[in-house]
Structure 1
Amino acid sequence: MLPYAIIGAGPMGLCTARRLRQYQLPWIGFELNSGVGGLWDIDNPHSTMYSSAHLISSKTMTEFSDFPMAASVPPYPNHRQMKTYFDAYADRFELRSGFRFNTRVTQVVRDGDHWQIDTEHDGRHERHAVAGVLLASGTLHQPKRIELPGEFSGERLHSADYRDPALFDGKRVLIIGCGNSGCDIAVDAVHRAARVDLSVRRGYYFLPKFVAGRPIDTLGGKIRLPNRLKQWIDGGIIRALIGKPSDYGLPNPDYRLYESHPVVNSLFLHHLGHGDIQPRPDIRSVNGHSVSFADGQQAEYDLILEASGYRLSYPYIAQHELNWQGAAPDLFLNIFNPDNPNLFVMGMIEAAGLGWQGRDEQSHLVALYLHQRARDTHSARDFERAIRAHHSERCDGGMHYLTLDRMAYYVHKPTYLSALKKHQRRLRRDLESPLSTIVHSAEETA
């Protein structure tokens, strides 16, 4: 039996490998770096991590539920602690031996019902025949560059290039973009730069990391409120705690809370309020070191840093194979391709609070489906019909998400997890008892 190929040994690739192994499905993994962890390994030359980076969700909302982080790890771990966690996960489930490290996937092409993968390692090129491909190479690799209206004579970088705040020493800095990375980097810069300005075009919601001594994402009751009511209540609490963005010189959002990913940062507004960071509107023109803004103001800068996010990219496979529509592939549950039944996109998902456990639920569903499909069960055939009719199942939970590139694969966490669990239950209906015992035993020892 041909193996399934997993591309990437970051957290998504690791839990995918674990679930395939649990269901006794053969697999081979390919990883560009020398070890596991993906972008959380800052020593990985392909990582987009920076030295001050921490989780923006708390560890209890992010960790794998059956592999919790150590009690000594703080509520918001840094990248080193996350790398240690993923190393321990790979060791616990004996996953390293299945991956070929320092190996670049150069091309993935269809070969009838199967696939061929071309790789490069130490200058050697190889071709691998595989039963199917699970793309787990992540969503934060191709920087989304900004077209400036003019020519800038100073230093210009993207947040993907940023590692250490020493970069800012004595410089006049303009950061473009007010997402989580932009705000983190602005806070880094205030301690080293001569001046820090931040250009922002639209409004954002800002949340503190802690409320009443607890991580903000751990608060809330067990009763699920209707979306509009939750938005109204949570929005009121946030305004009472920190005020409106316009109180700090920023534009107010023209959308409701949670319709775009909020900024979770306890220090950014603090520094705005103390004048350490100067908010600026959109850029009108650039000439040499001079930047003119939409409000008519002008300033001189030594460094422009673009915190403008990333474009979704799977450069080793043709977009038409992924049913690419607009900014992202159009897939059932953001995973399953109605036209390519042996091709799966793993981890192309964003949702507030989904964490690694939500992504593990993805990999569990895929592995369970592949096992059942190999046995040609009724449940597998039913699931394939659902994949082909994938537009009948939306996972936005009735939310009106902004039509931004980075929101193209955003889902409503409770709705999405409910859908994954529903299909897992249906696929389990005709599990044979011998394998059911094996699977149960694997989960018990996990």
Structure 2
Amino acid sequence: MQGEQEQQKAGGGGGGDQTPSHCIVLDGPIIVGAGPSGLAVAATLRQHSVPFTILERSGGVADLWTNRTYDRLRLHLPKMFCELPHVGFPPDFPTYPTKHDFLGYLHSYAARFAIAPLLRRTVTRAWYDEPVSLWRVTTTTTTTTTSAAAAEYASPWLVVASGENAEVVVPKVKGRERFAGEALHSSEYRSGERFRGMRVLVVGCGNSGMEMCLDLCEHGAMPFMSVRSGVHVLPREMFGASTFGIAMKLLRWLPIKIVDRFLLLVARMVLGDTEKYGLKRPKLGPLEIKNVTGKSPVLDVGAWSLIKSGNIKIVPEVESFSGSGARFVDGSEMAFDAVIFATGYRSNVPSWLKEDGELFTEDGKARRARCPSSSGSDDWSSWRGPRGLYRVGFSGRGLLGAGADALGAAADIAGRWQEAQQATGANISSV
């Protein structure tokens, strides 16, 4: 396999040398990231018989799901919306697969398409080399026997599949260093078992924050959830069907504002008035705010009933920390044994990708696709930029969007790769 061959070639960097000794020119595209998005691109390229090389900074596929998620996590959407291209979930999987179900599916997927990423390759820089019309990508490699060996790869095509959730986000709050209890990010949380009997402040009220509060309750802890801004809480199912599925069907026929009104009406019927319990709803509807800001509504998996019963207590935004607890923006203070920051993740693309802003904003989010001009010069899709640059998994539509992006990007690369092969063959035959 190409990945194994390139891994052998890259071994010549040596020791702690930060400068690549040579550049490895690849026949197929470079894919940065071996999460679901990168795997989906690779599998589709395999279907087109196009070689590829995946560079992955961790020690295996799906690092986020493997090492930075809590034990009780399940897919929040039904499995039909989370399948990767070409292979569905096993029929015996539950409607909402567990973390371990999903990881098993991803490993089986990688094995089925013979996807072998180059592991522990941290991309430090990627840029387009205009004179040779190639993307050049530098990496450092850390193993148990060597440290920071450098390598450089080049290809006409670069697929950015490193994800929207590459780096943790922890807000800077005054006095955090003085807090004497344990403070951790949600990526480090596994189970509420070790917090039994403790007062735990969870900062953040998204899907992760809500579910960790539920898990803490079930393990005998006393969770307090700090809410800074408004949040939409929706039942995971309506009328016996997936809320997400219903919304997708309605959007085929109705404007987004009308669909939002319907969702909020049903949510109020099922859940009641969330503002009564401290969860103020934003002015924009759940789907509209997702489009504008990328913030997903919370799909309730059981936390709401515990909020109503008072087992999960809602508190205001944190103003500062003290040695024993936190002070809130309303002036109140409380003591806590631990703090969990359920404050999400961000893209790390700006730290290594050098591009002109066609596909990514300055903070690493997807830039909206340009509209085609009359000449067709700006005719690229949301996943395709100029000069052979692609992004997959940045649409804000989760696994469903990543799969669609992967199919489009891989098919486009396959067409260009085949043209290059034909041109090379024609050049050789004419000599």
TM-score, normalization by structure 1: 0.75
Tell me how far 1:363 sits from its aligned partner. 1.9
Note closer, same or farther for the CA distance 1:199–1:366 as it changes in structure 2 (3 Å cut): same
Tell me how far 1:164 sits from its aligned partner. 2.4
For 1:233-382, what aligned pairs fall within 5 Å after superposition? Answer: 233-258=262-287, 259-260=289-290, 261-314=296-349, 317-320=352-355, 322-323=357-358, 324-327=360-363, 328-330=365-367, 332=369, 333-338=381-386, 341-351=387-397, 355-373=398-416
Match of 1:107 in 2: 125
Does residue 229 (structure 1) correspond to residue 258 (structure 2)? The answer is: yes
Per-residue deviation, residues 327-356 of structure 1 (Å, max 9, x unmatched):
325363443334xx12222211213xxx53
Give the conservation status (yes or no) of the 8 Å contact 1:25–1:371: yes
| 3-state secondary structure, aligned to 2:314 | strand
CA distance in 1, matches of 2:58, 2:399: 20
Give the conservation status (yes or no) of the 8 Å contact 1:48–1:140: no
Tell me how far 1:48 sits from its aligned partner. 1.8
Q: Which of the residues 66, 73, 85 maps onto 1:53?
A: 73
Does residue 35 (structure 1) correspond to residue 60 (structure 2)? The answer is: yes
Per-residue deviation, residues 239-258 of structure 1 (Å, max 9, x unmatched):
11111211323223232232
Give the conservation status (yes or no) of the 8 Å contact 2:184–2:339: yes
CA distance in 1, matches of 2:273, 2:135: 52
Give the conservation status (yes or no) of the 8 Å contact 1:75–1:215: no
Per-residue deviation, residues 69-102 of structure 1 (Å, max 9, x unmatched):
1221111111110011112222333323xx2234
Q: CA RMSD in A?
A: 2.5
Per-residue deviation, residues 309-332 of structure 1 (Å, max 9, x unmatched):
112212662455555434325363
Give the conservation status (yes or no) of the 8 Å contact 2:79–2:97: yes
Higher deviation after alignment, 19-28 or 3-12: 19-28
CA distance in 2, matches of 1:173, 1:83: 29
Give the conservation status (yes or no) of the 8 Å contact 2:85–2:407: no
Higher deviation after alignment, 230-239 or 15-24: 15-24
Give the conservation status (yes or no) of the 8 Å contact 2:28–2:417: no
Tell me how far 1:212 sits from its aligned partner. 4.0
Match of 1:138 in 2: 163
Match of 2:111 in 1: 91
Tell me how far 1:61 sits from its aligned partner. 1.7
The number of residue pairs the alignment matches comes to 365
Tell me how far 1:176 sits from its aligned partner. 0.8
| 3-state secondary structure, aligned to 2:322 | strand
Does residue 14 (structure 1) correspond to residue 14 (structure 2)? The answer is: no
CA distance in 2, matches of 1:35, 1:283: 37
| 3-state secondary structure, aligned to 1:95 | coil
Tell me how far 1:195 sits from its aligned partner. 2.2
CA distance in 2, matches of 1:361, 1:181: 25
CA distance in 1, matches of 2:303, 2:238: 16
Note closer, same or farther for the CA distance 1:231–1:321 as it changes in structure 2 (3 Å cut): same
Note closer, same or farther for the CA distance 1:292–1:330 as it changes in structure 2 (3 Å cut): same
In structure 1, stretches of 5+ residues that fail to align are: 42-46, 378-446
Note closer, same or farther for the CA distance 1:311–1:357 as it changes in structure 2 (3 Å cut): closer
CA distance in 2, matches of 1:34, 1:59: 26
Give the conservation status (yes or no) of the 8 Å contact 1:175–1:198: yes
TM-score, normalization by structure 2: 0.77
Match of 2:229 in 1: 202
Give the conservation status (yes or no) of the 8 Å contact 2:192–2:221: no
CA distance in 1, matches of 2:366, 2:34: 21
CA distance in 1, matches of 2:399, 2:318: 37
CA distance in 1, matches of 2:156, 2:309: 58
Q: Which of the residues 193, 201, 204 maps onto 1:177?
A: 204
Q: Percent identity?
A: 27
CA distance in 2, matches of 1:329, 1:75: 30
Higher deviation after alignment, 175-184 or 114-123: 114-123
